[in-house]
Chains A and B, each alone.
Chain A
Amino acid sequence: MTQIDLKRPILDKNEKIARGNRELFAHHRVFVLDIMASPGSGKTSTILATIDALRDEFNIAVIEGDIASSVDAERIKAQGIAAVQINTGGACHLESEMIRRAVDVLDLERLDLIIIENVGNLVCPTDFDLGEHAKAMILSVPEGDDKPLKYPGVFQVSEAVILNKVDTMPVFDFDDGAFRAAVKQLNPTAPIFPISATKGTGIDAWAQWLADRIRAI
Protein backbone atom coordinates (compact mmCIF):
# COMPACT_ATOMS: atom_id res chain seq x y z
CA MET A 1 0.00 0.00 0.00
CA THR A 2 1.30 3.44 -0.91
CA GLN A 3 0.01 6.74 0.34
CA ILE A 4 -0.07 9.66 -2.10
CA ASP A 5 -0.44 13.14 -0.61
CA LEU A 6 -2.46 15.23 -3.01
CA LYS A 7 -3.60 18.33 -1.08
CA ARG A 8 -5.53 19.44 -4.15
CA PRO A 9 -8.72 21.52 -4.25
CA ILE A 10 -11.56 19.30 -5.45
CA LEU A 11 -12.86 21.88 -7.89
CA ASP A 12 -9.35 22.45 -9.27
CA LYS A 13 -10.38 22.00 -12.89
CA ASN A 14 -13.40 24.30 -12.58
CA GLU A 15 -11.27 26.95 -10.92
CA LYS A 16 -8.55 26.76 -13.58
CA ILE A 17 -11.06 27.26 -16.38
CA ALA A 18 -12.73 30.04 -14.37
CA ARG A 19 -9.36 31.83 -14.15
CA GLY A 20 -9.06 31.54 -17.93
CA ASN A 21 -12.56 33.00 -18.34
CA ARG A 22 -11.69 35.85 -15.99
CA GLU A 23 -8.58 36.71 -18.03
CA LEU A 24 -10.62 36.62 -21.22
CA PHE A 25 -13.26 38.97 -19.76
CA ALA A 26 -10.56 41.33 -18.48
CA HIS A 27 -8.86 41.36 -21.88
CA HIS A 28 -12.10 42.42 -23.57
CA ARG A 29 -13.17 44.68 -20.70
CA VAL A 30 -16.55 43.05 -20.36
CA PHE A 31 -18.23 42.90 -16.95
CA VAL A 32 -19.78 39.54 -16.09
CA LEU A 33 -22.56 39.15 -13.53
CA ASP A 34 -23.77 35.74 -12.30
CA ILE A 35 -27.37 35.81 -11.04
CA MET A 36 -28.50 33.05 -8.71
CA ALA A 37 -32.05 32.46 -7.46
CA SER A 38 -34.81 29.87 -7.01
CA PRO A 39 -37.01 28.75 -9.89
CA GLY A 40 -39.89 31.19 -10.25
CA SER A 41 -38.26 34.04 -8.35
CA GLY A 42 -38.29 36.25 -11.44
CA LYS A 43 -34.72 35.92 -12.74
CA THR A 44 -35.59 36.42 -16.38
CA SER A 45 -38.03 39.28 -15.64
CA THR A 46 -35.38 40.97 -13.49
CA ILE A 47 -32.80 40.56 -16.25
CA LEU A 48 -35.23 42.02 -18.80
CA ALA A 49 -35.91 45.02 -16.54
CA THR A 50 -32.14 45.45 -16.00
CA ILE A 51 -31.53 45.36 -19.74
CA ASP A 52 -34.21 48.01 -20.24
CA ALA A 53 -32.52 50.29 -17.72
CA LEU A 54 -28.97 49.83 -19.05
CA ARG A 55 -29.21 49.16 -22.79
CA ASP A 56 -28.79 52.80 -23.81
CA GLU A 57 -25.38 52.96 -22.18
CA PHE A 58 -24.07 49.40 -22.45
CA ASN A 59 -23.95 46.57 -24.98
CA ILE A 60 -25.40 43.57 -23.20
CA ALA A 61 -25.62 39.82 -23.78
CA VAL A 62 -27.21 37.11 -21.66
CA ILE A 63 -26.19 33.50 -20.99
CA GLU A 64 -29.17 31.44 -19.89
CA GLY A 65 -28.62 28.31 -17.83
CA ASP A 66 -31.47 25.84 -17.58
CA ILE A 67 -31.79 22.11 -17.20
CA ALA A 68 -33.81 22.03 -20.44
CA SER A 69 -35.62 24.27 -22.98
CA SER A 70 -34.73 27.61 -24.52
CA VAL A 71 -37.80 29.63 -23.44
CA ASP A 72 -35.72 32.06 -21.37
CA ALA A 73 -33.26 32.77 -24.17
CA GLU A 74 -36.17 33.35 -26.55
CA ARG A 75 -37.61 35.96 -24.18
CA ILE A 76 -34.28 37.79 -24.15
CA LYS A 77 -33.75 37.54 -27.91
CA ALA A 78 -37.25 38.96 -28.47
CA GLN A 79 -35.89 42.19 -26.95
CA GLY A 80 -33.09 42.33 -29.53
CA ILE A 81 -30.40 41.21 -27.08
CA ALA A 82 -27.89 38.45 -27.84
CA ALA A 83 -28.64 35.38 -25.76
CA VAL A 84 -26.98 31.97 -25.50
CA GLN A 85 -28.88 29.08 -23.97
CA ILE A 86 -26.97 26.46 -22.00
CA ASN A 87 -28.90 23.29 -21.25
CA THR A 88 -27.22 21.48 -18.40
CA GLY A 89 -29.23 18.31 -19.04
CA GLY A 90 -29.94 17.70 -15.38
CA ALA A 91 -27.00 19.38 -13.68
CA CYS A 92 -28.20 21.79 -11.01
CA HIS A 93 -25.64 24.56 -11.61
CA LEU A 94 -23.42 26.07 -14.28
CA GLU A 95 -19.69 25.32 -14.41
CA SER A 96 -16.87 27.40 -15.84
CA GLU A 97 -16.38 25.09 -18.84
CA MET A 98 -20.00 25.68 -19.93
CA ILE A 99 -19.44 29.45 -19.77
CA ARG A 100 -16.20 29.15 -21.74
CA ARG A 101 -18.06 27.39 -24.55
CA ALA A 102 -21.00 29.81 -24.40
CA VAL A 103 -18.83 32.93 -24.75
CA ASP A 104 -17.26 31.48 -27.92
CA VAL A 105 -20.38 32.51 -29.82
CA LEU A 106 -20.51 36.04 -28.37
CA ASP A 107 -18.74 39.06 -29.80
CA LEU A 108 -16.82 39.95 -26.62
CA GLU A 109 -15.09 42.93 -28.18
CA ARG A 110 -18.44 44.65 -28.69
CA LEU A 111 -19.88 43.82 -25.26
CA ASP A 112 -19.80 45.73 -21.95
CA LEU A 113 -21.93 43.41 -19.87
CA ILE A 114 -22.75 39.71 -19.84
CA ILE A 115 -25.48 38.60 -17.46
CA ILE A 116 -25.41 34.90 -16.62
CA GLU A 117 -28.71 33.48 -15.41
CA ASN A 118 -27.69 30.46 -13.38
CA VAL A 119 -29.88 27.38 -12.99
CA GLY A 120 -32.75 28.01 -10.54
CA ASN A 121 -31.29 26.74 -7.28
CA LEU A 122 -30.19 28.36 -4.00
CA VAL A 123 -27.54 25.80 -3.07
CA CYS A 124 -25.43 24.36 -5.86
CA PRO A 125 -24.35 27.41 -7.93
CA THR A 126 -22.76 28.92 -4.81
CA ASP A 127 -19.54 26.92 -4.91
CA PHE A 128 -18.76 27.10 -8.62
CA ASP A 129 -16.62 29.98 -9.79
CA LEU A 130 -17.50 30.84 -13.39
CA GLY A 131 -14.91 33.59 -13.80
CA GLU A 132 -17.53 36.28 -13.21
CA HIS A 133 -16.80 39.69 -11.66
CA ALA A 134 -19.69 39.46 -9.22
CA LYS A 135 -22.38 37.10 -8.07
CA ALA A 136 -25.76 38.55 -7.14
CA MET A 137 -28.91 36.83 -5.98
CA ILE A 138 -32.64 37.32 -6.19
CA LEU A 139 -35.07 36.28 -3.51
CA SER A 140 -38.76 36.80 -4.18
CA VAL A 141 -41.20 37.75 -1.42
CA PRO A 142 -43.44 34.64 -1.76
CA GLU A 143 -40.43 32.44 -0.90
CA GLY A 144 -40.47 33.83 2.64
CA ASP A 145 -38.32 35.99 4.91
CA ASP A 146 -36.66 32.93 6.48
CA LYS A 147 -34.64 31.95 3.42
CA PRO A 148 -31.35 33.46 4.65
CA LEU A 149 -31.60 31.09 7.60
CA LYS A 150 -32.16 28.08 5.35
CA TYR A 151 -29.71 28.87 2.54
CA PRO A 152 -26.91 30.89 4.14
CA GLY A 153 -24.29 30.08 1.48
CA VAL A 154 -25.92 31.90 -1.40
CA PHE A 155 -26.45 35.02 0.73
CA GLN A 156 -22.79 34.99 1.76
CA VAL A 157 -21.27 34.80 -1.70
CA SER A 158 -23.60 37.41 -3.26
CA GLU A 159 -22.33 40.96 -3.57
CA ALA A 160 -25.87 42.27 -3.87
CA VAL A 161 -29.26 40.88 -2.83
CA ILE A 162 -32.33 41.70 -4.91
CA LEU A 163 -35.70 41.26 -3.20
CA ASN A 164 -38.22 40.81 -6.00
CA LYS A 165 -42.05 40.95 -6.04
CA VAL A 166 -42.12 43.49 -3.18
CA ASP A 167 -45.62 44.49 -4.31
CA THR A 168 -46.86 41.17 -2.87
CA MET A 169 -45.42 41.80 0.61
CA PRO A 170 -48.78 42.39 2.39
CA VAL A 171 -50.25 39.20 0.91
CA PHE A 172 -47.42 36.97 2.04
CA ASP A 173 -46.90 38.45 5.49
CA PHE A 174 -43.21 38.96 4.69
CA ASP A 175 -41.26 40.40 7.63
CA ASP A 176 -38.89 42.85 5.93
CA GLY A 177 -37.09 43.71 9.18
CA ALA A 178 -36.40 40.06 9.99
CA PHE A 179 -35.20 39.46 6.43
CA ARG A 180 -32.81 42.41 6.50
CA ALA A 181 -31.43 41.44 9.91
CA ALA A 182 -30.79 37.88 8.72
CA VAL A 183 -29.02 39.07 5.55
CA LYS A 184 -26.89 41.49 7.55
CA GLN A 185 -25.86 38.69 9.85
CA LEU A 186 -24.60 36.65 6.89
CA ASN A 187 -23.30 39.38 4.62
CA PRO A 188 -23.06 42.78 6.29
CA THR A 189 -21.79 44.70 3.26
CA ALA A 190 -24.26 43.48 0.62
CA PRO A 191 -26.83 46.09 -0.42
CA ILE A 192 -30.45 44.91 -0.60
CA PHE A 193 -32.49 46.17 -3.56
CA PRO A 194 -36.28 45.85 -3.16
CA ILE A 195 -37.82 45.67 -6.63
CA SER A 196 -40.85 44.60 -8.57
CA ALA A 197 -39.37 43.50 -11.90
CA THR A 198 -42.65 43.35 -13.80
CA LYS A 199 -43.90 46.70 -12.47
CA GLY A 200 -40.53 48.44 -12.78
CA THR A 201 -40.36 49.49 -9.10
CA GLY A 202 -36.89 49.89 -7.59
CA ILE A 203 -35.01 48.95 -10.78
CA ASP A 204 -33.20 52.31 -10.94
CA ALA A 205 -31.21 51.83 -7.72
CA TRP A 206 -30.20 48.29 -8.69
CA ALA A 207 -29.28 49.33 -12.24
CA GLN A 208 -27.24 52.23 -10.81
CA TRP A 209 -25.26 49.85 -8.58
CA LEU A 210 -24.57 47.58 -11.54
CA ALA A 211 -23.68 50.47 -13.86
CA ASP A 212 -21.13 51.75 -11.32
CA ARG A 213 -19.54 48.32 -11.19
CA ILE A 214 -19.40 48.06 -15.00
CA ARG A 215 -17.81 51.52 -15.34
CA ALA A 216 -15.21 50.63 -12.69
CA ILE A 217 -13.53 47.88 -14.71
Chain B
Amino acid sequence: MHELGIMTGVLETVNASAHEAGAERVLSISLSIGVMTEAIEDALRFAFEALSEGSLSEGAALEITMVQPKSRCLECGATYGHDRFSLLCPECGSFATELVAGRGMWIDSIEVDIPDDAPPAGPSSAGPPPDGGKENETRKKPGA
Protein backbone atom coordinates (compact mmCIF):
# COMPACT_ATOMS: atom_id res chain seq x y z
CA MET B 1 0.00 0.00 0.00
CA HIS B 2 2.92 2.39 0.30
CA GLU B 3 2.82 2.41 -3.49
CA LEU B 4 0.17 5.16 -3.14
CA GLY B 5 2.58 7.29 -1.10
CA ILE B 6 5.38 6.63 -3.57
CA MET B 7 3.23 7.50 -6.57
CA THR B 8 1.97 10.67 -4.88
CA GLY B 9 5.63 11.73 -4.68
CA VAL B 10 6.19 10.86 -8.34
CA LEU B 11 3.19 12.82 -9.57
CA GLU B 12 3.95 15.90 -7.47
CA THR B 13 7.41 16.15 -9.00
CA VAL B 14 6.43 15.15 -12.54
CA ASN B 15 3.38 17.42 -12.82
CA ALA B 16 5.30 20.37 -11.37
CA SER B 17 8.26 19.82 -13.72
CA ALA B 18 5.98 19.45 -16.74
CA HIS B 19 4.09 22.60 -15.77
CA GLU B 20 7.34 24.56 -15.34
CA ALA B 21 8.46 23.44 -18.78
CA GLY B 22 5.18 24.72 -20.25
CA ALA B 23 4.10 21.22 -21.28
CA GLU B 24 0.54 20.38 -22.27
CA ARG B 25 0.83 16.79 -21.21
CA VAL B 26 3.25 14.15 -20.05
CA LEU B 27 3.88 11.35 -22.55
CA SER B 28 6.04 9.04 -20.48
CA ILE B 29 7.64 8.72 -17.06
CA SER B 30 10.74 6.60 -16.34
CA LEU B 31 11.27 5.36 -12.80
CA SER B 32 13.92 3.22 -11.13
CA ILE B 33 12.67 1.32 -8.09
CA GLY B 34 14.96 -0.74 -5.86
CA VAL B 35 13.50 -4.16 -5.13
CA MET B 36 14.58 -3.83 -1.47
CA THR B 37 11.81 -1.25 -1.03
CA GLU B 38 9.28 -4.09 -1.41
CA ALA B 39 7.26 -1.87 -3.74
CA ILE B 40 5.28 -3.96 -6.21
CA GLU B 41 5.23 -2.97 -9.87
CA ASP B 42 1.55 -3.81 -10.41
CA ALA B 43 0.54 -1.80 -7.35
CA LEU B 44 2.62 1.16 -8.59
CA ARG B 45 0.81 1.04 -11.95
CA PHE B 46 -2.56 0.82 -10.23
CA ALA B 47 -1.71 3.78 -7.98
CA PHE B 48 -0.52 5.75 -11.00
CA GLU B 49 -3.78 5.23 -12.87
CA ALA B 50 -5.84 6.24 -9.87
CA LEU B 51 -3.77 9.29 -8.93
CA SER B 52 -2.90 10.70 -12.37
CA GLU B 53 -6.53 11.15 -13.42
CA GLY B 54 -7.21 14.74 -14.41
CA SER B 55 -3.53 15.74 -14.14
CA LEU B 56 -0.95 16.48 -16.85
CA SER B 57 0.25 12.90 -16.43
CA GLU B 58 -3.04 11.19 -17.22
CA GLY B 59 -2.50 8.57 -19.91
CA ALA B 60 1.32 8.78 -19.79
CA ALA B 61 3.33 5.60 -20.34
CA LEU B 62 4.95 4.43 -17.12
CA GLU B 63 8.34 2.78 -17.56
CA ILE B 64 9.52 1.07 -14.40
CA THR B 65 13.00 -0.39 -14.05
CA MET B 66 13.26 -2.62 -10.99
CA VAL B 67 16.82 -2.25 -9.64
CA GLN B 68 18.29 -5.47 -8.27
CA PRO B 69 20.16 -5.25 -4.94
CA LYS B 70 23.92 -5.02 -4.87
CA SER B 71 26.21 -4.94 -1.83
CA ARG B 72 29.87 -4.33 -1.07
CA CYS B 73 31.76 -6.38 1.49
CA LEU B 74 33.44 -4.16 4.07
CA GLU B 75 36.02 -6.85 4.84
CA CYS B 76 37.20 -8.21 1.49
CA GLY B 77 35.88 -5.44 -0.76
CA ALA B 78 33.93 -7.74 -3.09
CA THR B 79 30.91 -6.23 -4.83
CA TYR B 80 28.11 -8.67 -5.62
CA GLY B 81 24.45 -8.91 -6.57
CA HIS B 82 22.05 -10.78 -4.30
CA ASP B 83 18.36 -11.32 -3.59
CA ARG B 84 16.25 -9.51 -0.97
CA PHE B 85 17.20 -11.95 1.78
CA SER B 86 20.83 -13.09 1.73
CA LEU B 87 23.11 -10.16 2.11
CA LEU B 88 26.23 -11.94 3.32
CA CYS B 89 29.38 -11.82 1.21
CA PRO B 90 29.61 -14.81 -1.15
CA GLU B 91 33.42 -14.45 -1.31
CA CYS B 92 34.42 -14.47 2.36
CA GLY B 93 31.13 -15.11 4.21
CA SER B 94 31.27 -11.81 6.11
CA PHE B 95 28.11 -10.20 7.49
CA ALA B 96 29.76 -6.78 7.48
CA THR B 97 28.36 -5.55 4.20
CA GLU B 98 26.93 -2.35 2.83
CA LEU B 99 24.01 -2.10 0.45
CA VAL B 100 25.08 0.01 -2.54
CA ALA B 101 21.99 -0.41 -4.75
CA GLY B 102 18.46 -1.68 -4.53
CA ARG B 103 16.83 0.56 -1.92
CA GLY B 104 16.62 3.82 -3.86
CA MET B 105 13.58 5.13 -5.72
CA TRP B 106 14.22 7.63 -8.50
CA ILE B 107 12.39 9.53 -11.21
CA ASP B 108 14.92 9.26 -14.05
CA SER B 109 13.26 11.31 -16.77
CA ILE B 110 9.98 12.30 -18.36
CA GLU B 111 8.89 13.00 -21.93
CA VAL B 112 6.46 15.86 -22.45
CA ASP B 113 4.54 17.59 -25.21
CA ILE B 114 5.38 21.30 -25.33
CA PRO B 115 3.39 23.54 -27.71
CA ASP B 116 5.64 25.73 -29.94
CA ASP B 117 4.68 29.02 -28.32
CA ALA B 118 5.23 27.82 -24.78
CA PRO B 119 7.33 29.95 -22.43
CA PRO B 120 10.95 28.79 -21.95
CA ALA B 121 11.53 25.94 -19.51
CA GLY B 122 12.82 26.43 -15.99
CA PRO B 123 11.64 27.76 -12.65
CA SER B 124 10.42 31.37 -12.61
CA SER B 125 13.03 32.89 -10.27
CA ALA B 126 16.24 32.66 -12.29
CA GLY B 127 18.26 35.19 -10.30
CA PRO B 128 18.00 37.52 -7.32
CA PRO B 129 15.47 40.33 -7.65
CA PRO B 130 16.95 43.75 -8.56
CA ASP B 131 16.48 45.13 -5.05
CA GLY B 132 17.90 41.92 -3.53
CA GLY B 133 18.15 41.43 0.24
CA LYS B 134 15.05 41.10 2.34
CA GLU B 135 12.51 40.45 -0.36
CA ASN B 136 14.58 37.56 -1.62
CA GLU B 137 14.66 35.97 1.80
CA THR B 138 10.92 36.16 2.36
CA ARG B 139 10.35 34.62 -1.05
CA LYS B 140 12.48 31.64 -0.24
CA LYS B 141 10.57 30.71 2.90
CA PRO B 142 7.50 28.88 1.58
CA GLY B 143 9.70 26.45 -0.32
CA ALA B 144 12.13 25.88 2.57
Chain A nearest CB: distance from B70 CB in Å? 14
Q: Which of A7, A128, A186 contacts B5 (CB 8 A)?
A: A128
Query: Which residue in chain A gives the minimum CB-CB distance to B88?
Result: A185
Count of B interface residues, CB-CB < 8 Å:
41
0/1 interface trace, chain A 126-162, chain B, CB 8 Å (1 if under): 1110000000000000000000010111001000000
Contact A8 B105 (CB under 8 A): no
Closest Cβ–Cβ distance, residue A96 to chain B (whole Å): 11
Task: Return the contact of A92 from the options B2, B37, B121 (Cβ within 8 A).
Answer: B2
Q: Say how far B92's CB is from chain A's closest CB, in angstroms.
A: 14
Q: Is B38's CB within 8 Å of the partner chain A?
A: yes
- Which B residues, 2 to 34, have Cβ-Cβ distances below 8 Å to chain A? 2, 4-6, 9-10, 12-14, 17-18, 21, 23, 27, 31
A93 touches B2 (CB 8 A): yes
Give the contacts of A1-47 with B (CB-CB under 8 A).
Answer: 1-14
With contacts A1-B27, A2-B21, A2-B114 taken as known, whether A10 is within 8 angstroms of B6 at the C-beta atoms is yes
Contacts of A128 in B (CB 8 A): 2, 5
Contact B12 A13 (CB under 8 A): yes
Q: Bound complex: CA of A90 vs CA of B74, how far in Å?
A: 41
Query: A100 within 8 Å of B by Cβ?
Result: no
Is A152 within 8 A of B110, CB to CB? Answer: no
Contact check, A185 vs B85: say whether CB atoms are below 8 A apart.
yes
User: With a CB–CB cut-off of 8 A, which chain B residues contact A12?
Assistant: 9, 13
Contacts of B84 in A (CB 8 A): 152-153
Alpha-carbon separation in the docked complex, A133 to B104 (Å): 20
Let me know if A2 and B111 touch, CB within 8 A. yes
> Please, which residue of chain B has its CB at the minimum distance from the CB of A155?
B85
Task: Tell me the complex Cα distance, A7–B6, Å.
Answer: 15
A107-132 contact mask (Cβ, 8 Å, vs B): 1 or 0: 00000000000000101101110000
Contacts of B135 in A (CB 8 A): none
Q: Tell me whether B12 and A93 are in contact (CB under 8 A).
A: no
- Give the distance to chain A from B116, nearest Cβ to Cβ, in Å: 11
* Complex contact A95–B112 (CB within 8 A): no
B107 at the interface (CB under 8 A from A): yes
**Does A200 count as interface, using CB distance less than 8 angstroms?**
no
B136 nearest CB across to chain A (Å): 20
The distance from the CB of A19 to the nearest CB of chain B, in whole angstroms, is 11
CA–CA, A14 to B112, complex, Å?
25
Report B's interface with A, CB cutoff 8 A: 1-2, 4-6, 9-10, 12-14, 17-18, 21, 23, 27, 31, 36-39, 84-88, 95-96, 99, 103-114, 121
Q: A6-B107, A14-B9, A185-B85 are in contact. List 10 more A-B contacts (CB 8 A).
A: A2-B21, A2-B114, A4-B18, A7-B106, A9-B106, A124-B2, A149-B85, A152-B36, A185-B88, A185-B95
Pairs A–B under 8 Å by Cβ, sample size 29: A1-B113, A2-B111, A2-B113, A4-B17, A4-B21, A4-B109, A6-B109, A7-B106, A7-B108, A8-B107, A9-B106, A10-B9, A10-B31, A10-B105, A10-B107, A11-B9, A12-B13, A13-B13, A14-B9, A91-B4, A93-B5, A123-B1, A123-B38, A126-B37, A127-B103, A127-B105, A128-B2, A153-B37, A156-B36
